[in-house]
C-alpha cells in the first residue's frame, strides 16, 4: 500500500507557494488509480514522490511501510515502484531495445541468465519481442512507450506509475497501451495513471482530480464524472458524458448503475433505449 500523509512540496527555485499542499492519499495494492488535472497542477511532482525521486518538504510518503525520507529505503522503493515518463526520447539508455530493457535488471546486479529471462518476458508482455535488436529511436511513438513499459516491467515492480505516457500518441497506439495496462492490472500490478484525457480514466477504480496542488475529488469515476463543478477544475469532459449527465439530471435516463459509463454514442443510445 502507498500511504501519503500531509504531503507538502515546494521547489527550491520556486519558493512562493508550495506546488503540493497537504495531500492525503492512500492507494491499495492492485488498484488502478487515475490522476487528472490541468497543466501545472502538480501531477508529475506528486508521482515523483512515489519512487523517491522527490522527497517531501513536509509530511510523509510510505511505500509498503518504507518511508521515502530514509536513504536506505530508496533503492528498494525504486524497485517496487516503476515509473514511465511522458517523453520516450529521453528515457532510453540502451542503444538497442533489449539493452535498454536490461538496464534496470543490470542495476539490480542480477545474474546474466536472470536478466535475459526478464528482458524476454517483459518484451513479450508488451508485444515487442520481435524488436529486440532494434534501435529504440527508430521505433514509432507507441512502440517506444511499449519498450519503456517493458524496461520498468523487467524490474518486477509492484506499482507502476505512468505519467502522461500517451499524450504524444495517436488513437491506435493509445488503445494498445491501454490494453497493456489492463493486462498488467490483471497480473496484480497496481497502476497509477496520470493523464489529462478523461477518456482514459473510465477503466480505473478511482479518479483523483487535482487543482493547484490540492485534491478536488478522490472517488469512483462514475461519482466524479457526475460532479457538476468538475468543468471548473479545467478538465475537459467529453460532450457525450455531459449529455448523459444532463439526461440523468433531468430524469430521462438512469445510467451509471453499473460501471459502464456511456462514453460512445452507441452506449448512450443503448442506455436511452433501455430507459424508454
Partner 1 sequence: MHSFFFNYVPGNSLIHHLDPRTKLLAVMVASIFIFNAETFLELVTIAGFFVIIAFISGVNYSIFLKSLRPMSLFFIFLFFIQLFLSEGKPIFTIGFINPTYEGLITGLQITTRFIFLILFASILTATTQPVMITSGIERLIRPLPLKYIGVSSFDIATMMSLSIRFIPLLFDNAKKIQYAQMSRGMDFKNNIFKSFSSVAVPLIMSTKRTAQDIAIAMESRCYQGIYRTSLFELEMKNADWIVLLGISIMVLLFMFLI
Per CB under 5 A, the list member of 34, 44, 166, 255 interacting with Mg ion is: 44
**Whether the Cβ atoms of residue 165 and residue 86 lie closer than 8 Å to each other:** yes
Site for partner 1 in 92-131 (CB under 8 A): 92-96, 98-99, 102-112, 115-116, 119
Nearest to 3 by CA among 31, 39, 44: 31
Residue 103 site contact among Mg ion, ligand ATP, partner 1, none (CB < 5 to 8 Å, cut-off depends on kind): partner 1
Measure CA 73 to chain center: 23
- DSSP 3-state helix, strand, coil percentages of the chain (rounded to 5)? 40, 20, 35
- Give me the residue whose beta carbon is nearest to Mg ion: 44
For position 189 contacting partner 1 by CB under 8 A, the verdict is no
Write out the DSSP string of 4-42: EEEEEE--TT--SS-SEEEEEEEE-TT-EEEEEE-TTSS
Q: Does 11 bind ligand ATP (CB under 6 A)?
A: yes
Cα–Cα distance for residue pair 23/107, rounded to 1 Å: 32
Quick one: which of 83, 126, 215, 268 contacts partner 1 (CB under 8 A)?
Answer: 83
Contact 213, 39 (CB under 8 A): no
Q: Which of 39, 72, 229, 258 binds ligand ATP (CB under 6 A)?
A: 39
Which residues make up the interface to partner 1 (CB under 8 A)?
Answer: 48, 51, 53, 75, 78-79, 82-83, 85, 87, 89-96, 98-99, 102-112, 115-116, 119, 137, 151-152, 155
Which residues make up the interface to Mg ion (CB under 5 A)?
Answer: 44
Which residues make up the interface to ligand ATP (CB under 6 A)?
Answer: 11, 13-14, 19, 37, 39-45, 164, 196
Amino acid at each position: 500500500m502507498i500511504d501519503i500523509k500531509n504531503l507538502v512540496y515546494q521547489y527550491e527555485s520556486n519558493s512562493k507557494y508550495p506546488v503540493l499542499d497537504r495531500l492525503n492519499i492512500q492507494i491499495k495494492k492492485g488498484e488502478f488509480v487515475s490522476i487528472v488535472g490541468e497543466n501545472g497542477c502538480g501531477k508529475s511532482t506528486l508521482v515523483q514522490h512515489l519512487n523517491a525521486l522527490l522527497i517531501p518538504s513536509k509530511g510523509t510518503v510510505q511505500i509498503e511501510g518504507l518511508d521515502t525520507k530514509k536513504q536506505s529505503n530508496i533503492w528498494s522503493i525504486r524497485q517496487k515502484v516503476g515509473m514511465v515518463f511522458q517523453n520516450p526520447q529521453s528515457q532510453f539508455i540502451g542503444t538497442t531495445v533489449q539493452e535498454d530493457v536490461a538496464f534496470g535488471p543490470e542495476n539490480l546486479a542480477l545474474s546474466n541468465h536472470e536478466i535475459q529471462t526478464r528482458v524476454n518476458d517483459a518484451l513479450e508482455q508488451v508485444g515487442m519481442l520481435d524488436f529486440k535488436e532494434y534501435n529504440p529511436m527508430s521505433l514509432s511513438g507507441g512502440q517506444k512507450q511499449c519498450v519503456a513499459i517493458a524496461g520498468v516491467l523487467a524490474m518486477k515492480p509492484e506499482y507502476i506509475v505512468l505519467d502522461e505516457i500517451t499524450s504524444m500518441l495517436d488513437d491506435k497506439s493509445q488503445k494498445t497501451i491501454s490494453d497493456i495496462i489492463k493486462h498488467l492490472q490483471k497480473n496484480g500490478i497496481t497502476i497509477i495513471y496520470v493523464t489529462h484525457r478523461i477518456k482514459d480514466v473510465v477503466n480505473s477504480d478511482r479518479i483523483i482530480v487535482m487543482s493547484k496542488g490540492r485534491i478536488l475529488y478522490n472517488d469512483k469515476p462514475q461519482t466524479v464524472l457526475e460532479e457538476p463543478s468538475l468543468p471548473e477544475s479545467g478538465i475537459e469532459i467529453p460532450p457525450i458524458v455531459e449529455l448523459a449527465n444532463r439526461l440523468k439530471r433531468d430524469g430521462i435516463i438512469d445510467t451509471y448503475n453499473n460501471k459502464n459509463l456511456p462514453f460512445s454514442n452507441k452506449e448512450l443510445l443503448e442506455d436511452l433505449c433501455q430507459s424508454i
